[in-house]
Structures are given as C-alpha cells and as structure tokens.
Amino acid sequence: MAPRVLVSDALSPTAVEIFRKNGIEVDYEPNLGKDKEKLLSVIDKYDGLAIRSATKATEKLIEAATNLKVIGRAGIGVDNVDIPAASRRGIIVMNTPFGNSITTAEHAIAMLFAVARQIPEANASTHAGKWEKNRFMGVEITGKTLGIIGCGNIGSVVAMRAVGLKMHVVAFDPFLSADRAEELGVEKVELDDLFARADFITLHTPLNDKTRGIINAASIAKMKDGVRIINCARGELVVEADLVEGLKSGKVAGAGIDVFAEEPATNSALFNLPNVVCTPHLGASTTEAQENVALQVAEQMSDYLTKGAVTNAINMPSITAEEAPRLKPFVKLAEVLGSFVGQMTDEPIDEIEILFDGSTATMNTRALISAALAGLIRPQVSDVNMVSAPIMVKERGIIVSEIKRDKSGVFDGYIKLTVKSKTRTRSIAGTCFSDGKPRFIQIKGINLDAEVGEHMLYTTNPDTPGIIGLLGTICAKHNINIANFQLGRDHPGGDAIALLYLDEAVPQAFIDEVLATGKINAARPLRFNIGA
Ligand SMILES: NC(=O)c1ccc[n+]([C@@H]2O[C@H](COP(=O)([O-])OP(=O)(O)OC[C@H]3O[C@@H](n4cnc5c(N)ncnc54)[C@H](O)[C@@H]3O)[C@@H](O)[C@H]2O)c1
Ligand SMILES: O=C(O)[C@H](O)COP(=O)(O)O
C-alpha cells in the first residue's frame, strides 16, 4: 500500500506534486493544523505529516498518530514539535535547515530599515494625507553597530548584508569560531559587550532553555539608550512585557517584531506603540523560500517513506538515498546482534561497546549503532526503533561506546557487540555475506558461521561427543525441522556452543527436556526479525 501523507499547513502546491510523483498518497488540508480536534481525529491514517509553524505536533497528537513515521517541517524551527515524544514513538522529525535562511535574513534587514526610518508609520500617515515631514526623523545605519545574537545560517547572512551596508557587526554565539567570524567580517564578543555596544540588536538563535527570555528587563538595562531591537527568530526569546516597558520609557527607540510568544498574535501589548513594526511571522514568506522548503521537505519525506533515506532529521542520523541500499543489510546485522544479546540478558545492562572492524568502520556507524540499540532493547520494550532506541538507552543510564578499526581478520568487515551487566560480559560478532544476509561469526570468543533465522536455539555445553545427536533427537521428537546446525568450541574438550536454525519456535517442554539430559549447561530459544 502506498504511504499516505497529510499536509496540514499552507505549503506550496509543489509539495503535493512531489509526493504524488514519488508514489505517495497525499491529502492537502492547509487549514487543518489550526483545527486541533479535527487533526487529532484523522492523524492515525497517515504515515507522514508535513507542516509549517501553525500545526502543533504535541505529545497528545503524537500519541494519537499510531501509524506516523515521519514529521516533516517545511522550514527551520521545530519548537512546534514535541521531539522527545516523537522520538519515544520512533517518529523521525526532519526540517529544511537552509531553504528559507536568505529570505528570513532579508526580512530582518527590512525590519532594520523600517525601524530606522519609521517607514510603516510614515506610510500610514502619508496615505492618510497628513504629509508629516517633520514627524519622522530617522537614523542612518551606516557606521552604526549591529549586534547579532546567534550567528548561524540566518545570522551569518544578516552579518554579510550588514557588513555590505557599512555597519560594524558584533556577534555573540558560543559556537561561532574565530575563523568563521573573520570570514564574515564580524567581531566575536561576549553578550554583555554586545548589549553595551550595539545600536541595533537582532536575534537569530533557536528557542531553548538558554535563549528563552534572553531579552528581558535586566538585559535591556545593559543596552545603549535608544537601542533598536529586531526579532525575526522566536517570540519567546523576548520577555514582551519588559520590551514594552523599555519602549514606553524611551530606553528602546524602536522594535521590529516578526514573531510573538503566542501566535497567532491578535492582541499584543506591543501593538500600537510608536515605532514598533510588527509582521505576522512573515520571515519565511517569500515565493522563493516557500518553493525551496516545500520541495525539500517533500523530497526528504518521500525518500524516507519509500527508500529509508534520512536527511536533515533532528532525532536520527542521516542516511543518504545512495547509501541506504548498501547500509540496509548492515542495519539488519546490527539489529540482530543487538537482539541476540538483548534476548540473552536478563539483568540490567550497564555498558555497551560496539566495535566496527574493516569496511563497517567506513559506514554510517551512527545509524548502525541506533539499529544495534533498537535490537538490544526490543526484548524489553516492544515499540522501539532506530529513532527511539538511543533515547531509551540513555534514559536507562546505559553507557554506549564505539570503536572503529582497520580490517583485522579474514572478513572484509564485521561488527562486534560487547555488553556488560552486573554479573557478566557477553559478546557477539557478525558480518554480512554477498547475499546480504547477516551471519553470526563469533559468540563469546568462539568462532562459528551461523546463518540467522527467525527461530533459533542457542545452547552451551562442555565439549563432549553426542551433543549433535542429542539435540537432533529432541528436535525430531517434537517434530521440529532443523534448517541449519552450527557448532563451535574454544578448544577440544573445553566450552562449546551450538546454534540451531529451526523451522519453528521451540516450546518450554523442549527446553526442559534438553536441560534434563544433564549434558547441556544452558538452552535459550531466540527469535529474530529477519524480514525487510
Ligand atoms: N521568522 C521566521 O519566519 C523564521 C524563519 C526561519 C527561521 N526562524 C528562526 O530563526 C532562528 C535561527 O535560525 P537559523 O536557521 O539561523 O538557525 P541555526 O541553527 O543555523 O543558527 C542558530 C545559531 O544560534 C546559536 N546559538 C545557540 N544557542 C545560543 C545562545 N544561547 N546564544 C547565542 N547563540 C546561540 C547557534 O550556535 C547557531 O549558530 C531560529 O529560531 C528559527 O526558528 C524564523
Ligand atoms: O522556523 C521557520 O522556518 C520559520 O519560523 C517559518 O515559519 P512558517 O513556515 O510558519 O512561515
């Protein structure tokens, strides 16, 4: 059945065309995002949800989205999506991090001019036939200092434009390197320094716990008298009541506000103050940007739903459409290795070490680790996948480490998982042969070559004669066919293991019978998901 996508915000029709071209059924309901109850009632029908900022993908919506696999944000900010809730449910959240950066930077620059020259008010006055030439005295921006808070994709474009406008640009961004600052022609400063020196301040950070309310009464007090503030990032970066106070007192000479703490903002204390220019979250609203983000999000979501490729995901490592087919068998391998140890371990796991040897070390190991972790914890948590596994493992306080090394043995490459719990350490290694099927090649240091089947039986025993016959006889007695039988031992007469690939699951009576022989130390039925 074709995957089904709901577009619940006003995306360009290009998105719909691209979904259809990629064989995806699509419902285009540009106003549904604003109707929470209706959205809630239909969301379970969809594999994908394409949104802008109006749709709020809350925990409640995500819980109701029982078939959802991907949320695609045609734009940048994903603060309208409950990412932890999506991750826990195994839903990928992706955005389009560059599609509207230039457009939004241009909006910030437009705000800069609009506020410096009071253009909206002068426009309204002129349209009203007032000709108030003396009322609207502006300020030049040439030679003035622009303070940029957050110098990422959008902040950088703003910086380059402002440098071109002959402004002196200072930037505060903990992740801005000295080289990048030099390349942009900006001076990297501390936040208080920026507050003290800037004539104009423009915000371009994401909204998070560190940036929420970054413009407040205390920070405004540190600013120059007559500072002008532009916010085209997120409303909650500014404590709006404090900005209103600053504007009323004259400390802040003007503000350009595109985003509000509550949207849609139909009633704000910022409205109708002199020299406050407001726009209704228009930063990304140009034809060009909307085409870009619609096209990108639809391609990304289609690639994921039809090919398993992951691009620009917030909660999952990227997998390109090119690498997805090559990676797929190794994702399955990592998952069955994790699953083997997960099924063998009855006590809490403390540490997991994942070794990538040879060719596997050159692959997308983040994706392989996610797959191994999903396999590992699936016996405890059924509803887990590559998206939710890392978060669940972290929540359980399990330490995950990764080792990559050059080819060290006969195999082109293999993956080895070592899992430590309080009382023991287990390890298993595997590889994929040219048929794309996973093979177990080593269990607790003992070499073997075992094809992986849906139903398997793992036994440990002292290396004595008669084990094959013993297990074969009990299988025959229970009318269970053996597809493959692999043995291994550390040394003659030492510890031995057997791995049987069976055509069906063994019942508990089978295990009891095996153990009752006194010749087998442990017997564990295993089940693997070997489907696509
Ligand atoms: N108005 C609109 O329509 C519109 C359009 C697009 C994006 N946005 C918003 O613009 C903002 C910036 O988007 P972007 O694409 O440039 O993001 P980005 O991730 O490329 O850049 C954000 C920058 O902020 C920096 N940063 C993070 N925490 C910081 C802190 N505590 N102090 C200072 N800097 C910090 C990061 O290091 C990064 O360089 C986001 O909030 C986004 O949602 C708004
Ligand atoms: O984060 C973004 O991309 C912007 O805020 C744009 O939001 P919009 O898609 O609702 O215009």
Cβ–ligand 1 contact at 286 (below 6 Å): no
pTM of the model: 0.82
The reported pLDDT for the residue numbered 136 is 96
- Regarding the beta carbon of 365 and ligand 1, being less than 6 Å apart is answered no
Provide the pLDDT confidence category of residue 29 given band limits of 50, 70 and 90: very high
Closest C-alpha to ligand 2, atom 6 = 284
437 and 451 Cβ atoms separated by less than 8 Å: yes
Average pLDDT of every residue of the chain: 95
Residue 142: burial class (beta carbons within 10 Å; 0-12, 13-18, 19+):
exposed
Number of Cβ within a 10 Å radius of residue 251 = 16
In DSSP notation, 130-146 reads: ---TTT------TTPEE
pLDDT per residue as tens digits for the range 206-259? 998 899 999 999 999 999 999 999 999 999 999 999 999 999 999 999 999 999
Sheet strands (E) in 18-150: 25-28, 48-51, 70-73, 92-94, 145-149
What distance in Å separates the CA atoms of residue 341 and residue 87, rounded to the nearest whole number? 23
Give the per-residue pLDDT at 379: 84
Give residue 175's pLDDT band: very low, low, confident or very high (50, 70, 90).
confident
Q: Residues 338, 372: contact at Cβ < 8 Å?
A: yes
Identify the pLDDT of residue 436: 87
pLDDT of residue 531: 67
Span from the CA of 531 to the centroid of ligand 1 (angstroms)? 41
Burial (0-12, 13-18, 19+ Cβ within 10 Å), 464: exposed
Q: What is the pLDDT of residues 435-479, one digit of tens each?
A: 889 999 999 899 999 999 999 999 999 999 999 999 999 999 999
Cα end-to-end distance, the chain, whole Å: 15
Closest CA to ligand 1's atom 21: 152
Q: What is the pLDDT of residue 409?
A: 85
pLDDT higher than 80, residue 383: no
What pLDDT, on the 0 to 100 scale, is given for residue 324?
87
> How high is the pLDDT of residue 425?
94
Q: What atom of ligand 1 comes closest to residue 282's alpha carbon?
A: 3
Does residue 345 carry a pLDDT above 70?
yes
Question: Active site residue: 161, 168, 204, 234, which one?
Answer: 234
Q: What percent of the chain has pLDDT over 90?
A: 87
ipTM of the complex model: 0.99
Ligand nearest to the CA of 290: 2
8 Å CB contact between 53 and 263 = yes
Ligand nearest to the CA of 74: 2
**Tokens 């508990």 sit on residue:** 508
- Residue 495's identity, in one-letter code, is D
Q: In what order do the strands lie in the sheet with 48-51?
A: 25-28, 4-7, 48-51, 70-73, 92-94
**Residue whose pair of structure tokens reads 């045609």 in the numeric block:** 74
**In the prediction, which pLDDT does 519 show?**
94
**Torsion sign, CA atoms 184, 161, 231, 216:** positive
Confidence at residue 167, expressed as pLDDT on a 0 to 100 scale: 98
Three-state DSSP class for 425?
A: strand
What is the reported pLDDT for 382? 66
Give the number of whichever ligand sits closest to the CA of residue 232.
1
Q: Which residues pair with 524 in a beta bridge?
A: 458
234 is catalytic: yes
Residue 76 corresponds to which tokens in the numbers above?
A: 């940048």
Q: Which of 121, 263, 323, 454 is catalytic?
A: 263
- What is the rounded distance in angstroms from the CA atom of residue 453 to the CA atom of residue 526? 9
Model pLDDT for residues 50-84, shown as the tens digit of each residue: 999 999 999 999 999 999 999 999 999 999 999 98
Distance between CA atoms of residues 120 and 506, nearest Å: 78
- Catalytic residue chosen out of the listed positions 73, 168, 281, 439: 281
CB-CB neighbours of 346 under 10 Å: 9
User: Does the beta carbon of 293 sit less than 6 angstroms from any atom of ligand 1?
Assistant: no
Length of the chain: 532
Q: CA 494 to CA 518: how far, in whole Å? A: 16
How many Å lie between the centroid of ligand 2 and the Cα of residue 284?
6
Atom of ligand 2 nearest to the CA of 74: 9
Residues with CB under 6 A from ligand 2: 52-53, 75-77, 100, 281, 283-285
- Number of Cβ within 10 Å of residue 174's Cβ equals 10
Strand order, beta sheet including 399-405? 399-405, 349-358, 413-421, 425-432, 438-443, 446-451
